[in-house]
Every structure is written in structure tokens, then in C-alpha cells.
Amino acid sequence: MDILEAEVAAMPQGYAPLVHRFTPGLYIREIFMPAGSIVTSRRHLTTHPFVISQGSVEVICESGAKQTFDAPYSGITQAGTRRALNVLEDTIWTTFHVTDKTDPIEIENEITECNNPLLPEGFKQAYLGKETDLLLK
């Protein structure tokens, strides 16, 4: 997965906008991924639900197992999970995380980890996100 992620990071980067929403005790993170994208996830440190409300994705796990999810679909991400997604159709994927925090970058660093030494220098900053890229609703 590290090698795939590094190869994807070396390619021209697409735009996958995020929407961040908060309710008391809950962080809701929505990502739009355009068809044709290859997306890798950070390693998830928590077990949490997700919903695919639009689109179709082929999900590849670290074990190499593949599964296609078509909207509407809901599931549970297990702690320790890391995935690569082959986005077959424009997709909206939403995750839900229990937290009282309201800073998306702080939350992301608490609920996921990135320790891929193969990522190009400088890419980690973009990978972690910049506050100016956040869309809060």
C-alpha cells in the first residue's frame, strides 16, 4: 500500500473537496471523489461508520482483497484499516466520528495516521491538509 500511495502521490493531483460538519459529539467528514481517481486512505485508528451516498468505487484492502461498493451503501470501517479506492463513478463518501473536537486537522491526526516513508518530500503537508482548503458547513 505504501508503494501504491507513493506512486499516486507522484502523479498530478486531482481535486477531492471535503465538507466538514459538526454536531455535539460528532464530526461528519464528506469527500467527493471524481470518476477515474485513485485514492489511498490513511490508516484508520478508530472503528466508525461510513456511507456512500453517490457513485461506485472498487475498494482494495491491504490484503489485496477487492470489493465494489455502489451507492447507496453503508458500512463500518474497522480500526487498523487502510484502503485504496479506484473511483468508478463520481462518488460521495461520508464518515462519522465521535469527538468533541472541532478542528478537522486535529481530528484527522487523532483518528488516522500517516507514516509512509515513501511519500515524496513536501507531499505530507498537502496530505495532511491545509486549513485554507477546508469547507466547513
List the one residue out of 48, 47, 49, 83 whose CA is nearest residue 68: 83
pLDDT (average), residues 96-114 = 86
CB 111 within 8 A of CB 20: no
pTM of the model: 0.77
Confidence of residue 136 (pLDDT cuts 50, 70, 90): very low
Total residue length of the chain: 137
Is residue 7 situated within a structural domain?
yes
Is residue 67 situated within a structural domain?
yes
Confidence of residue 116 (pLDDT cuts 50, 70, 90): low
Is residue 56 situated within a structural domain?
yes
**Based on the structure, what is the number of domains in the chain?**
1
Residue 93 has pLDDT above 50, yes or no: yes
Residue 47 confidence (pLDDT): 95
Is residue 132 situated within a structural domain?
no
CATH number for position 29: 2.60.120.10
53 contact partners, CB below 8 Å, separation of at least 6: 71, 72, 92, 94
Residue 82 confidence (pLDDT): 85
* Mean per-residue pLDDT of the chain: 80
Residue 41 confidence (pLDDT): 77
Residue 109 has pLDDT above 70, yes or no: yes
Is residue 135 situated within a structural domain?
no
Domain of 95?
Answer: 2-124
